[in-house]
Amino acid sequence: MIHILSVEDHPVFREGLAMIIDALPDMRIVAQAANAAEAIAGYRTHRPDVTLMDVRLPGVNGIDALVAIRGEFPDARIIMLTTSDSDGEIQRALRAGAAAYVLKSMPRNELLEIIRCVHDGKKRVPAEVAARLAEHLGDDDLTPREFEVLQLIGGGLRNKQIADRLAISETTINFHIRNLLDKLQANDRTHAVVIALKRGLIEL
């Protein structure tokens, strides 16, 4: 029996998923959560075999909840469920240790098969998600510092303010921004933020 924690803030989708899963002989929902705090508490209490985690949760998002759970339980097997196919979110989730990244539009039987695969210790990225990743593979591998700079630009900070915040020189910030523009193929700072938001690389 595969014990599953379902994390989803939309009651209709959450209840529909529970009905589908609980009707099967080999898996059942042991707990449900509507936000990151409930997800973390539910995981601690029930130690499920597999967690289905919505990426878009109120407050703290699902990827941050994934990081928190795997920080405590490195063997946690978590499937990210989402309506978004932005490659930035997919990359962040997989780097954080997601066992699979699944679109909610996926046929029911495929989702159930992925749950079984993840329970068996395998990782799964469906074809349409892999294709989305492949579109940008290797063309914008931003460094952690570049992500920081990009997030601060998105927050409205000027170059000198970013330099002060990160305790590095303005010359170094300008260097990071040039790299960002080149990797994202952006015309200027604002364009870089627009591209990053559209692709889910940063959140404001």
User: For the chain, what is the HEC assignment?
Assistant: CEEEEEECCCHHHHHHHHHHHHCCCCEEEEEEECCHHHHHHHHHHHCCCEEEEECCCCCCCHHHHHHHHHHHCCCCCEEEEECCCCHHHHHHHHHCCCCEEEECCCCHHHHHHHHHHHHCCCCECCHHHHHHHHHCCCCCCCCHHHHHHHHHHHCCCCHHHHHHHHCCCHHHHHHHHHHHHHHHCCCCHHHHHHHHHHCCCCCC
What mean pLDDT do residues 172-184 have?
A: 89
Tell me how far apart the alpha carbons of residues 41 and 25 are, in angstroms, rounded to a whole number: 26
Tell me how far apart the alpha carbons of residues 50 and 5 are, in angstroms, rounded to a whole number: 7
What mean pLDDT do residues 65-88 have?
A: 88
Among 36-40, 81-85, 188-192, where is mean pLDDT lowest? 81-85
* DSSP structural state of residue 30: E
* DSSP structural state of residue 50: E
- Residue of 43, 150, 139, 33 lying closest to 91 (CA atoms): 139
pLDDT averaged over every residue in the chain:
88
Which domains are seen in the chain, by residue range? Answer: 2-135 (3.40.50.2300), 144-198 (1.10.10.10)
What mean pLDDT do residues 193-203 have?
A: 80
Tell me how far apart the alpha carbons of residues 54 and 8 are, in angstroms, rounded to a whole number: 5
Tell me how far apart the alpha carbons of residues 152 and 145 are, in angstroms, rounded to a whole number: 11
Tell me how far apart the alpha carbons of residues 201 and 185 are, in angstroms, rounded to a whole number: 14
pTM higher than 0.75? no
Question: pLDDT at position 117, please?
Answer: 94
Question: pLDDT at position 27, please?
Answer: 96
Predicted confidence band of residue 163 (pLDDT cuts 50, 70, 90): very high
